[in-house]
Structures are given as C-alpha cells and as structure tokens.
Amino acid sequence: MSELFRPRRRPLLRLTLTLGACTIVIGATAIVVWLRTNVVPPDCRDPATLALVRRSLTGRFALPASVTIENIETLAGGYVAFRFACEADLRGFDPKDLTPGSPVPGSVYYVSRLRDGGRRHEVTVSIQPLLKLERVQ
C-alpha cells in the first residue's frame, strides 16, 4: 500500500508552472485584443468596407448608382489578419446603361487594409468582366 501512495512533492514547482502558464495565456489574450482593435481592418462584409467599394465602383469605374454587391466571399483574412481579400458579384444594373464599348462587369475583387498606423482604412478594387460563352464554328 505504501508504494501506491505518493505524497505531493515540489509544490513550489507546481505553483511556478501554473503562474507561468497563466501569464502566457493572459499575455496572448492581451496581444490578440490589441491586434483586433489597432491593426485588423474591417472585414469583407463591414459597412465601412462596402461603402468604400461602392464609392470606387460608382466613381472610378463609372457604374450606375443602382449597382449592388452580392454573394460576398472572403478569400483571405482571419481573426487577426492584416488585410482581407474579398470577392463578390455585381448586380442591379442594366448593361445598356454602361458606356459604349466597356466590358460588362461580372464580379469585383477588393482588398481591405489599414494604412498610416491604423488611422486610415483603404480598399483596393478591381473588376473582372462577365464572360459570355459563344459557340464558334
């Protein structure tokens, strides 16, 4: 029976390991919270991001104001990401309303990031044209 019972030894070592583990967990939590508030930009579905995308679509690309952004998909980015890469479909406009000779936009690709030490939100937008399949003889 005395071989099965083992008295507790080294309680100071256990206390030190427990305090060390708690310090690491608290430190990691503090770092993640700081990153989320100061470094991580708004994600793909955030209203601020979508407003910047929409402003770029109507201003730079001269799409009509009726354009809508649908089926938003996050291609890259996560909980502590430094930028988000997103793709979405463009709907709500008539191809006849576009300037003559311009391709019909099918989807939009945009990247959301923070600049100037987290003070300025920037979105880079590019449009992929709608591909139409035609039979060729």
Per-residue pLDDT tens, the chain, 137 aa: give them.
Answer: 556 766 667 778 888 889 999 999 999 999 888 877 777 777 888 888 888 888 888 888 777 778 888 888 888 877 777 888 898 888 877 777 776 766 777 788 888 888 777 678 888 888 887 766 667 77
pTM, whole model, 2 decimals?
A: 0.67
Contact 127, 98 (CB under 8 A): no
